Structure 1
Amino acid sequence: EGTLEAADPELKISGVNGLEEAICGDISFAVPPHIEAAGASQASALVLPIGTDFTGKPIIKVANPRRAFAQLLELFRRPADVERVISERAFIAKDAKIGNNVAIMPFAVVETGAVIGDNTVLYPYAYVGRQVTVGADCTFYPNAVIRDNCVVGNRVILQSGAVIGGDGFGYITEQGKHTKVLQAGNVILGDDVEVGSNTCIDRATAGSTMVGNGTKIDNLVHLGHNDVLGENCLVVAQVGLSGSLTAGNNVTFAGQVGSVGHIKIGNNCVFAARSGITGDVPDNSFYAGFPAVPHREWLKQEATLRSVSKLIKKVKELEKTLQEIKKEN
């Protein structure tokens, strides 16, 4: 819901775009500190936060402009409807169970014992392994892979190159030789999970690697075997989480965060980019640095590091003064 100001009944909106890219006929959005820049945009109308003082264009004021913009994108740029047919050039095992209104495109593979839910779309070269269960309204883009015995909830999106259920990195080392340990578990993805391109989620050695409902995972992420992520987590690009990590709900791992394995992370935690998590973390924590520490402590550490060169200079001056005093004595 929002309020319309400076409305122009003759105005026609034909597209949605960012402030800099917008042209006449587009609607865009702005939030602080970009409100001033919105005045220079070619956009014909704007979505702004409630309480914003702005004139010069028709505007819609809403509580959350980003969310409103996302809704406008869906309205104006809906993806082309997929033809709901099963290609003769797809490979589908005879005992696979395919739901209603499913699209399976050329060269997609559905192995024996797999179950595909209603309204799911498999793009070319998507692979669904043996005994996999896929829920309703899922989308697997080209070259997405989900291997044997894994379970996928409803409305799950796998971007191109995502690999779900590859073997975990499990070996026994004896006398300098590494012997592979059979990875007998699986991966379970909850409802409304999205997995980015070229992200790998390894199957458990035993039991399940699990990703909770609503969690969103970016490109180029690695989740180790037996990891458990809670609901509504955000995992940004190039994060690497070692095996047997457990994270609560609403945890954010910013870009290039890494962790050791066998640790527990509480609910509502945030880890700044490039944090290195080396131990358990309590609920509602904001950590940064390597090894990761509470953010305020990290800021103090950074301030100290930045003053090291000055401290070294002062120490050298003191050493010089001491040497001069010794010579005088």
Structure 2
Amino acid sequence: MILINDVKTKLSDLVQEVSIAQRDSFLNVEPISDATEDSLVFANNEKFLKQALDSAAQVIVTNIKLKELCSESNKSFIFANIPDLLVTKILQTYFYSQKIAQQKASVSKSANIHESANVHESCFIGENVVIGKNVQIAENCFVGANTVIENDVQIARDTEIHSQCFIGQRTEIGEACIIRAASSIGSLSMFHFTSDEDGLGKVVLKNFVELGSQSCIDRPTRSETFIGESCKLDNLVKISAGAYLDNFCLITAGVQIGHNARCGKYFTVGGNSFIEPNTVIADQVLCGGMTFVDRDITEKGQYGGMPVQPMKDYLRSMVSLAQIPKLRKILKTNA
């Protein structure tokens, strides 16, 4: 059984309030139509909330804005500003069960594993994998063929690293991450100018991060490149050394984020955009595709354009540009 108060503690950044009545726990997460007394269900609007109140479920996740509609019910409630995201996190935190491509736990005979490395017996290690000294790989991990894992790397449980990946030294990868084929994490940028002998620089990926194919996250020499919990990075993404992505960011294909840039929670950016080095982006910012972020964004909202501007201004500019040929004809006629 999963205690409601445990959810409140572990997911405190998403849970706004809880109201506990007859049940203080739940056993599973089900659609409203299939709910039992042991179920938690999700209702993000008044229509579904009414159905949830009429169902057998005794625990309901819903929007904090609907709190007044729940006041007369004898069910227990978990209120959130973004209830669908909270349910996703509950599923990830309590019910996630990584399936390692139906592979049985085994270590390929062609794998080269340093004697000081600690690889859990439940892991699958593919052909020609190289694992350096002092590497720690927890249970139920999958490492695909021809992957290189350098010294002092730590990989938490239920993580998948697909074929032909590179994991640089001192990288820390959290639970249930997915690193897709031919990606590089923790390599030094070709433009670094200081020695890495002091061993301070590293890349940190928190739990539930997904990285698309042929993406790259660079390692700084004396600081940290940080990717927050539940961030999703598409194919061909470049994260430069020292960048910081807070939790729940969504980075689509072809995006480049400059060194030491800081992106707040729930940052979403469209394809082929560029974030200038050292820029700071507030929480809950959405940038459209091909946006050039050349300055700090201090307020949440939607942005776009080159250079970046509020989305409303950007769309107005695009409409105006489309009228230039017509205006030229008018000017020639009146000349």
For 2:244 and 2:117, locate their aligned partners in 1 and report how far apart those are by CA, in whole Å: 29
Match of 2:271 in 1: 255
SS of the residue aligned with 2:140? coil
For 1:100 and 1:228, locate their aligned partners in 2 and report how far apart those are by CA, in whole Å: 34
For 2:228 and 2:101, locate their aligned partners in 1 and report how far apart those are by CA, in whole Å: 29
Aligned pair in 2 of structure 1 residues 94, 265: CA closer, same or farther (>3 Å)? same
Which runs of structure 2 are paired with 1:107-122 in the superposition (5 Å)?
107-122=128-143
Match of 1:305 in 2: 321
Deviations 1:298-322 (CA, angstroms, capped at 9, x unpaired): 0110111011112212222232xxx
Preserved CA contact (<8 Å) 2:248 2:265: yes
For 2:318 and 2:270, locate their aligned partners in 1 and report how far apart those are by CA, in whole Å: 19
Query: In structure 1, what residue type is equivalent to 2:310?
Result: P
Counterpart pick for 1:158 among 162, 174, 179: 179
Superposition deviation, residue 111 in structure 1: 0.5
Superposition deviation, residue 164 in structure 1: 0.2
Counterpart pick for 1:198 among 185, 195, 214: 214
Counterpart pick for 1:242 among 249, 253, 258: 258
Match of 2:55 in 1: none
For 2:240 and 2:115, locate their aligned partners in 1 and report how far apart those are by CA, in whole Å: 33
For 1:144 and 1:2, locate their aligned partners in 2 and report how far apart those are by CA, in whole Å: 41
Question: What CA RMSD, in Å, does the superposition of the two structures yield over aligned residues?
Answer: 2.3
Query: In structure 2, what residue type is equivalent to 1:148?
Result: Q
Which runs of structure 2 are paired with 1:28-177 in the superposition (5 Å)?
80-170=101-191
Superposition deviation, residue 125 in structure 1: 1.1
Match of 1:230 in 2: 246
SS of the residue aligned with 2:217? strand
Query: In structure 1, what residue type is equivalent to 2:252?
Result: V
Query: In structure 2, what residue type is equivalent to 1:84?
Result: A
Preserved CA contact (<8 Å) 1:170 1:205: no
Match of 2:71 in 1: none
Aligned pair in 2 of structure 1 residues 170, 231: CA closer, same or farther (>3 Å)? same
For 1:272 and 1:231, locate their aligned partners in 2 and report how far apart those are by CA, in whole Å: 19
Counterpart pick for 1:182 among 183, 195, 199: 195
For 1:283 and 1:209, locate their aligned partners in 2 and report how far apart those are by CA, in whole Å: 24
Query: In structure 1, what residue type is equivalent to 2:315?
Result: L
User: Which consecutive unaligned segments of at least 5 residues does structure 1 have?
Assistant: 5-48, 51-62, 72-77, 172-179, 320-329
For 1:89 and 1:218, locate their aligned partners in 2 and report how far apart those are by CA, in whole Å: 31
Superposition deviation, residue 293 in structure 1: 0.6
For 1:80 and 1:156, locate their aligned partners in 2 and report how far apart those are by CA, in whole Å: 14
Q: Which runs of 4+ in 1 moved over 6 A?
A: none
Match of 1:268 in 2: 284
Match of 2:20 in 1: none
Superposition deviation, residue 87 in structure 1: 2.0
Give TM-score scaled by structure 1 length: 0.70
SS of the residue aligned with 1:131? coil
Which runs of structure 2 are paired with 1:289-328 in the superposition (5 Å)?
289-319=305-335
User: Which range is displaced more, 95-104 or 260-269?
Assistant: 95-104
Query: In structure 2, what residue type is equivalent to 1:127?
Result: V
Give TM-score scaled by structure 2 length: 0.69
Preserved CA contact (<8 Å) 2:100 2:160: no
Query: In structure 2, what residue type is equivalent to 1:181?
Result: T
Query: In structure 2, what residue type is equivalent to 1:304?
Result: S
Aligned pair in 2 of structure 1 residues 155, 273: CA closer, same or farther (>3 Å)? same
Counterpart pick for 1:281 among 297, 303, 308: 297
Query: In structure 2, what residue type is equivalent to 1:243?
Result: H
